[in-house]
């Protein structure tokens, strides 16, 4: 989403492009996935901030909020802070664990994927032509296990206060909680099963030997925040929709429109009836501007994106600018950053030329075994919804394979 991370002060970073996708060892082409739906109870102990934010209880309020934070009020996020807001409670999170039907060494590598603003976990498992667009299917086909989940406030996960609770520190702790549960083999003991599984099914005892964290856009920001505090819990990271660019932060929310979620669609967003501060992108045109690039997407994917779009919270926007970027000293795995060539959010719509030199070491990941920024050709911000999504998956999964993951 626009204005996701204000990092212009960090300057331009390196850009390197693969001439072709790195080969990946494949498992048998007949591999399928076995998935189980979960409602996971995740304990959170986070320190959020209380911001001066206009109440959003209607679509008129949503437009006023947009103008308030971008035009009327020149205060930056830190100047809006009135004090800390501690969060110490558990939340229920809807998740899906999928494992490949053919067991292989890679099936013990768990990828935990966190989507960005405006999406639930379906971002990683596109239902239209999934053989081409589903990242989940691509990873399963290579033998990986994958845990996707609905971020707090989206999909079938809990929908708490949109101002003080659903902020980036809370979401960082949820990712940490899911990772700890998975690594300890306690994911199922902390969950309510939402799909039929026999008591002796091997999936119920799944415990990974390694964990890779995958993010997109805000999900990449959350993942980076996680790596700063919990770097030892990750063996590798793929941050998509996330390139540190000198143009990043130049786009503000006044350039696209939101509605109050319940007023936008009272049937589809019935759960948000009394949920102040939950907003949703208004039109397909807004979605196209942010996530797509002409000639790089199919119309049905834009329509599908509009059909699966999810509400966002004003608290998430407020907390973007004040969560500082510190070095992730404890993270020692490989990390790949990927954005589309025509990524509107990261680079203002055209990314080539925003990176000055190739730098295989980055001060934000000083102990990473490898750091690799990458630009996916002919792609917008919505990588999984672009025509060449599968080629991007080959790059991502090939990168992991090259580094023994």
Torsion sign, CA atoms 46, 113, 322, 371: positive
As a whole number, mean pLDDT of residues 318-347 equals 87
Q: What are phi and psi of 194, to 5 degrees?
A: -110, 5
Q: Which residue has the tokens 């959010």?
A: 345
* The pLDDT of residue 19 is above 50: no
Domain ranges, ordered by start, for the chain: 8-402
d(CA 246, CA 67): 24
d(CA 279, CA 277): 6
d(CA 65, CA 279): 10
* The pLDDT of residue 357 is above 80: no
- Calculate helix-pair angle for 284-291, 299-308, nearest 10 degrees: 110
Q: Are 386 and 128 in contact (CB under 8 A)?
A: no
Total-model pTM: 0.90
CATH class (in words) of the domain with range 8-402: alpha beta
Buried b (16+ CB within 10 A) or exposed e, 296-311: bbbeebbebbbeebbb
With H, G, I as helix, E, B as strand and everything else as coil, classify residue 264: helix
Supply the pLDDT for residue 249.
54
274-310: pLDDT as tens digits: 999 999 999 999 999 999 998 899 999 999 999 999 9
**Who wins on pLDDT, 345 or 353?**
345
Tokens of 135: 């990242």
Is residue 377 packed enough to be buried (19+ CB in 10 Å), middle (13-18) or exposed (0-12)? middle
C-alpha distances out from residue 334 to 96, 181, 231, 239, 340, Å: 25, 23, 12, 11, 20
The 10 Å Cβ neighbour count of residue 89 is 12
Instruction: Identify the weakest region by mean pLDDT among 78-82, 246-250, 307-311.
Output: 246-250
Supply the pLDDT for residue 3.
35
**Residue 353 region, left (φ>0) first, then alpha (ψ -120 to 50), else beta?**
left
Helix (H) / strand (E) element for 64: namely helix 59-67
Mean pLDDT of the chain: 87
Supply the pLDDT for residue 390.
95
Tokens of 55: 């109440």
Instruction: Report which of 316, 69, 386 is spatially closest to residue 168, judged by C-alpha positions.
Output: 316
Q: Are 332 and 231 in contact (CB under 8 A)?
A: yes
Supply the pLDDT for residue 28.
43
* The pLDDT of residue 26 is above 80: no
**Residue 83 region, left (φ>0) first, then alpha (ψ -120 to 50), else beta?**
left
Q: Are 166 and 315 in contact (CB under 8 A)?
A: yes
As a whole number, mean pLDDT of residues 249-259 equals 73
As a whole number, mean pLDDT of residues 87-99 equals 98
d(CA 145, CA 56): 39
**Who wins on pLDDT, 73 or 235?**
235
Supply the pLDDT for residue 49.
94
* The pLDDT of residue 15 is above 50: no
d(CA 215, CA 116): 8
As a whole number, mean pLDDT of residues 2-6 equals 34
């Amino acid at each position: 989403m626009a204005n996701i991370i204000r990092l212009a002060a960090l300057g331009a970073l390196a850009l390197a492009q693969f001439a072709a996708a790195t080969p990946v060892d494949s498992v048998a082409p007949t591999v399928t996935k076995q998935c189980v739906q979960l409602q996971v109870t995740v304990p959170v102990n986070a320190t959020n901030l209380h911001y001066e934010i206009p109440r959003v209880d209607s679509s008129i309020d949503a437009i006023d909020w947009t103008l308030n934070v971008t035009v009327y009020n020149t205060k930056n996020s830190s100047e809006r802070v009135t004090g800390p807001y501690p969060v110490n409670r558990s939340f229920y999170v809807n998740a899906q664990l999928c494992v490949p039907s053919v067991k292989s060494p890679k099936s013990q590598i768990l990828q935990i994927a966190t989507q960005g603003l405006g999406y639930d976990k379906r971002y990683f498992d596109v239902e239209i032509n999934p053989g081409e667009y589903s990242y989940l299917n691509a990873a399963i086909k290579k033998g990986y296990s994958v845990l996707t989940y609905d971020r707090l406030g989206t999909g079938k996960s809990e929908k708490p206060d949109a101002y003080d609770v659903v902020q980036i520190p809370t979401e960082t702790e949820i990712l940490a909680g899911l990772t700890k549960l998975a690594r300890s083999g306690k994911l199922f003991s902390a969950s309510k099963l939402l799909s039929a599984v026999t008591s002796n099914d091997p999936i119920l005892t799944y415990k990974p030997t390694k964990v890779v964290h995958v993010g997109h856009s805000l999900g990449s920001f959350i993942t980076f925040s996680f790596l700063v505090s919990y770097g030892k819990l990750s063996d590798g990271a793929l941050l998509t929709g996330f390139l540190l660019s000198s143009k990043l932060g130049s786009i503000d929310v006044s350039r696209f429109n939101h509605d109050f979620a319940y007023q936008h669609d009272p049937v589809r967003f019935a759960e948000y009836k009394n949920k102040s501060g939950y907003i949703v992108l208004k039109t397909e045109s807004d979605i196209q501007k942010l996530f797509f690039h002409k000639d790089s997407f199919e119309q049905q994917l834009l329509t599908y994106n509009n059909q699966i779009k999810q509400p966002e919270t004003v608290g998430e926007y407020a907390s973007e600018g004040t969560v500082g970027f510190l070095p992730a000293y404890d993270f020692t795995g490989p990390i790949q950053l990927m954005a589309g060539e025509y990524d509107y959010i990261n680079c203002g719509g055209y990314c080539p030329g925003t990176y000055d030199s190739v730098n295989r070491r980055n001060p934000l990941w000083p102990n990473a075994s490898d750091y690799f920024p990458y630009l996916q050709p002919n792609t917008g911000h919505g990588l999984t919804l672009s025509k060449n999504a599968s080629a991007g998956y080959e790059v991502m999964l090939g990168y992991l394979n090259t580094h023994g993951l």
